[in-house]
Amino acid sequence: MSGQGNEASHALAELKAKVDGEPIASLLEMHLLELSQGHAKVTMKLVPEYQNFNGLIFGGIIMAVADQAFAYASNSLTHPSIASQFNIHFLAGASIGDELTAECWVLKSGRRVGISEMTVTNQKGKIIAKATGTTIPMARLNH
Amino acid sequence: MSGQGNEASHALAELKAKVDGEPIASLLEMHLLELSQGHAKVTMKLVPEYQNFNGLIFGGIIMAVADQAFAYASNSLTHPSIASQFNIHFLAGASIGDELTAECWVLKSGRRVGISEMTVTNQKGKIIAKATGTTIPMARLNH
Amino acid sequence: MSGQGNEASHALAELKAKVDGEPIASLLEMHLLELSQGHAKVTMKLVPEYQNFNGLIFGGIIMAVADQAFAYASNSLTHPSIASQFNIHFLAGASIGDELTAECWVLKSGRRVGISEMTVTNQKGKIIAKATGTTIPMARLNH
Amino acid sequence: MSGQGNEASHALAELKAKVDGEPIASLLEMHLLELSQGHAKVTMKLVPEYQNFNGLIFGGIIMAVADQAFAYASNSLTHPSIASQFNIHFLAGASIGDELTAECWVLKSGRRVGISEMTVTNQKGKIIAKATGTTIPMARLNH
């Protein structure tokens, strides 16, 4: 148990050292707002560049901000962890100018597999999307 | 049946008229390679900007190219259609410089719901990811 | 809004009238413990008949009890609603003799689509599985 | 590579020895029709006991037959493997008297994770459901 705690502390410290200057965060202007063991909060402002052919916000952008919170939260406990699966439900539309917040909580962080859930809300607290995902810890087989 | 055929032809023509200058396609450099009723093929070259904090390609980018093929294929039959759900499995890693191809086939295009499946492959034909998704036709309740 | 409220009251009353003597509930000994608009709780005792070839509880049984709560909760708001998609994550194992409780909450109950989430816990309150699903209201196109 | 082949042969042999008298297969009358490395085919006849409160076939029954093919196919390559996640889309309804066939193909069978896809068809070859799932090989960390 304390071994797991030490490992998670180590994972969190390693992750924090890598966050600055992350290329995809710059490209999509995603900002890490909170990071602790098993939890992360990321924000993203919706700009006109995110529109699809229907003039709506591209679904992949909503997935991206959820995935960013997912990556941070899962790597805060076991690092590196790789996403193996991700499922998302879209509950409400989002519009240009909205400020989205994606939050991820790790539900299970096992030796072989991790399971997380995410929520994406807008600036009014309305739920835009809910997601879940599976991560695989990558260091385990080498120990 | 011929009514459905007409509607799908109409949807496809409408969609084709909207594809040029799509903002998200420009931002993420996604190119529509093929589009027919119920099928779409989209390509994307992986650039350094798509890296995450681990130096790996951000999962959300793989989702984005799959989602773009999904949006085109589902809207080619009923337009507009909105994604309600999307699930993806990552089978192999992708690297900077890879040329990804996302392909989507609509499995079911009903009056109330559509179901599609997608494959993302690299330039060697290796499967990087497989996905499935649910779309809701938006015009139905107005008729 | 009051129209929706009336419709949901009607759906709930109709559903309650159909619950008794449901064949699948008898076969799998699933018991409806609570039912209100947008929420249902179902229990199931794990018997030796549910074991798979590994001597473990068959995953499809965990899915079944989650699906039963899902069906009740979604039909309590719009009736009939048909499941279009269901995704589950298994977080912990279950054993013969365990008393499972599946609970479902409807997150969105729209004119065209419903989205729900479920939790399956054991008699100690431990989370065995979490699931989400999509339902399609079936009466809408006839109105 | 030959090590993997040997392991898979061993897994398949072990699995075949366990198939007879499987409790859940008896309860739900699921029959294993074909089993080879990475592939399984299971049949199930839909009986009146599988009806839900709407007089329709309970969705969890469709999930069960898909999950049974999933369990056999994934365990034919690495044994024991445990399902971590499962996602299903329902494409068409099924009726009492239908003879369903669930087929599963393993897409990836890695040291840490397996990914599979399934199809459920009726006696006319019509697709009733498509599913995908994630498995975790359980023996790896002990070696």
pLDDT (tens digit, 9 = 90+) per residue, D33-82? 999 999 999 999 999 999 999 999 999 999 999 999 999 999 999 989 99
Tokens 């729900």 -> residue: C116
Strands C114-121 and C99-109: antiparallel
Rounded CA-CA distance B56/B54 in Å is: 5
C26 exposure class (CB count in 10 Å sphere: 0-12, 13-18, 19+)? exposed
Helices and strands, number each (H, E), in chain C = 3, 6
Domain boundary assignment for chain D: 2-142
CATH, range C2-142: 3.10.129.10
> At A101, which amino acid appears?
T
The single-letter code of the amino acid at D117 is E
Comparing CB atoms, the residue among C85, C87, C141 nearest residue B112 is: C141
For residues A25 and A143, the model is more confident at A25
Nearest-CB residue to B91 (from D87, D107, D127):
D107
pLDDT given for residue C143 in this prediction: 39
Q: Are strands C127-137 and C81-90 parallel, antiparallel or unpaired?
A: antiparallel
Instruction: Tell the residue number behind the tokens 């459901």, with chain if given.
Output: D129
Q: Cβ distance B131 to B99 under 8 Å?
A: no
Mutation to test the D interface, candidates B74, B85, B88, B89, most D Cβ within 10 Å:
B89
CA–CA separation, C40 vs B113, rounded Å? 25
Within chain D, what is the greatest distance between any pair of CA atoms? 52
State how far the Cα of B26 lies from the Cα of B45, in Å rounded to an integer.
Answer: 12
**The length of chain A, given as a count of residues:** 143
| Per-residue confidence band for D10, with pLDDT thresholds at 50, 70 and 90 | confident
**Of D111, D134, D140, which is closest to A134 when you measure between CB atoms?**
D134
Q: How far apart are CA C131 and CA A58, in angstroms?
A: 25
Mean pLDDT (whole number) for A54-72:
97
Q: Contact at 8 Å (CB) between C117 and C135? A: no
C53-96 tens-digit pLDDT: 999 999 999 999 999 999 999 999 998 999 999 999 999 999 99
d(CA C67, CA C47) in angstroms, rounded, equals 18
| Partner B contacted by A121 (CB < 8 A) | no
- Tokens matching residue A125: 């607290």
Tokens of B19: 């594809």
The distance of C118 to chain B (nearest Cα, Å) reads 16
Q: Beta-strand (E) ranges in B9-126?
A: 30-36, 39-45, 81-90, 99-109, 114-121
pTM above 0.90, yes or no: yes
Residue B75 identity: N
D95-124: per-residue pLDDT in tens? 999 999 999 999 999 999 999 999 999 999
Single-letter residue type at C143: H
**Closest of B132, B116, B129, B124 to residue B61, by C-alpha:** B129
Which residues in chain C are contacts of B74 at CB distance < 8 A?
none
Closest Cα to residue B24, out of B55, B92, B70, B56? B70
The answer to whether residue B2 scores a pLDDT higher than 50 is no
Q: Which of A87, A40, A71 is nearest to A136 (CA)?
A: A71
Does C22 contact D63 at a Cβ distance shorter than 8 Å? no
At B62 the three-state DSSP class reads helix
CB contact under 8 A, C112 and B87: no
Q: Which value does ipTM take for this structure? A: 0.93
Helices (H), chain A: 2-18, 23-27, 59-75
Produce one character per residue of A86-99: b if its CB has 16 or more CB atoms within 10 Å, e if not: bbbbbbeebeeebe
- pLDDT value at residue A14: 87
pLDDT of residue D1: 39
Tens digits of per-residue pLDDT, C99-122? 999 999 999 999 999 999 999 999
